[in-house]
Amino acid sequence: MLATYLIGLREGLEAGLVVGILVAYLAKLGRRDLLGRLWIGIGLAIAVALGIGALLTWGPYAMTFQAQEILGGVLSIIAVAMVTWMTFWMGTHGAALSKELRSSVDAAIDRSWFALVVLGAVAVGREGIETALFVWANAAGGSDPLFATLGAVLGILTAVVISWGISRGLVRFNLGRFFTWTGLFLIFVAAGVLAYGVGDLQEASVIPGWGTSAYSLVAIVPPGSWYGTVLAGIFNFTPEPTWAQVFAWVAYVAITVPLYLLMLRRRSLARAAAVPPAAAVAPAPAAGAPAAAVPVAPGPGTARTEPAAVDAT
């Protein structure tokens, strides 16, 4: 439930930021009359995400066992690919997200009335489909489907409240740090989903090696223990993985984590390079000369006239 809650919270905040930028820009342009089209697109995106979730939940029951396992394995791998891509995309494009969305709005207004509907659907639908796939894959890997779905819904509702609070200036926190740490957490969640997907493909005889465990941790982490249930629900942990599952998990983490940390380092260096160097200390004024104005940092009682920029990465 914790994993799906964080998935819903993160993806919901991403969607909330996108919607907030689009709505604020239309208001700034004085085109509130176009908000209805935008909300139609957002509603379509939500409906598609819910439809995909329902199809994944009830659709496979009419399939054979082998077909279900193949579908589960393939969709788990697709979900991992989507989450990984979105994590890196937000890390590299988040700072320019507002500019890109505003440009998209300008282009949509110049085209046709339906273009804004499509923009709203695409902007939010990406997070919605990704959430539906990843929540389903996480639940199929061992979490109780009801609790997994409940966790995702609570995460999305929390994101809606936070997004509303941010838009009203009632909530302020470091979004960049939030996305950084949840991105790292989701990498390990995705590694477990990938291992689960490989196991599904092995059960369907698409990948050989099913039934031969690489090692056994049953004595340390019994499947029925509370901590075994927690690990299985969050990270799709299994105490007796196959060699293919171990290889997939280790390879994914060994490749993705260093690349993610390298991306964070490059982003940090780029920000540091963009900060103007501190002004040199001016020499003391001559006797009788007027003192130069010294900029004073705003104190607790000083009002700020310029709103702080929100880092969405």
Full DSSP string of 218-263: TTTS-TTSHHHHHHHHHH---SS-BHHHHHHHHHHHHHHHHHHHHH
Determine the pLDDT at residue 301: 39
Q: Provide the domain count of the chain.
A: 1
Q: What is the pLDDT of residues 22-66, one digit of tens each?
A: 888 888 888 888 888 888 988 898 888 888 877 777 766 667 778
Q: What is the pLDDT of residues 114-164, one digit of tens each?
A: 888 888 888 788 778 878 887 777 766 655 667 777 888 888 888 888 888
User: Whole-structure pTM over 0.85, yes or no?
Assistant: no
Q: Is there a domain that residue 118 lies in?
A: yes
Q: What is the pLDDT of residues 219-228, one digit of tens each?
A: 998 877 878 8
Q: Is there a domain that residue 283 lies in?
A: no
Q: Is there a domain that residue 198 lies in?
A: yes
Q: Is there a domain that residue 291 lies in?
A: no
Is residue 303 over pLDDT 70?
no
Domain that holds residue 198: 2-273
CB atoms inside a 10 Å sphere around CB 279: 7
Is residue 290 over pLDDT 70?
no
Q: Is there a domain that residue 153 lies in?
A: yes
Give the bridge partners for 59, in sequence order. none
Q: CA 156, CA 152: separation in Å to the nearest integer?
A: 6
Q: Which of 69-83, 96-110, 206-220 has the lowest mean pLDDT?
A: 96-110
Average pLDDT for 185-196: 90
Is residue 258 over pLDDT 80?
yes
Give the bridge partners for 242, in sequence order. 213
Is residue 288 over pLDDT 70?
no
Which residues have C-beta within 8 Å of that of residue 280, sequence separation ≥ 6? none
Query: Quick one: DSSP state of residue 214?
Result: S
Note whether 264 and 257 are within 8 A (CB): no
Is residue 287 over pLDDT 60?
no
Mean pLDDT, the chain, as a whole number?
78
Q: Is there a domain that residue 104 lies in?
A: yes
What percentage of the chain reaches a pLDDT higher than 90?
14
Q: Is there a domain that residue 119 lies in?
A: yes
Q: Is there a domain that residue 302 lies in?
A: no
Give the bridge partners for 213, in sequence order. 242
SS3 content of the chain, % helix, strand, coil (to 5): 75, 0, 25
Is residue 241 over pLDDT 90?
yes
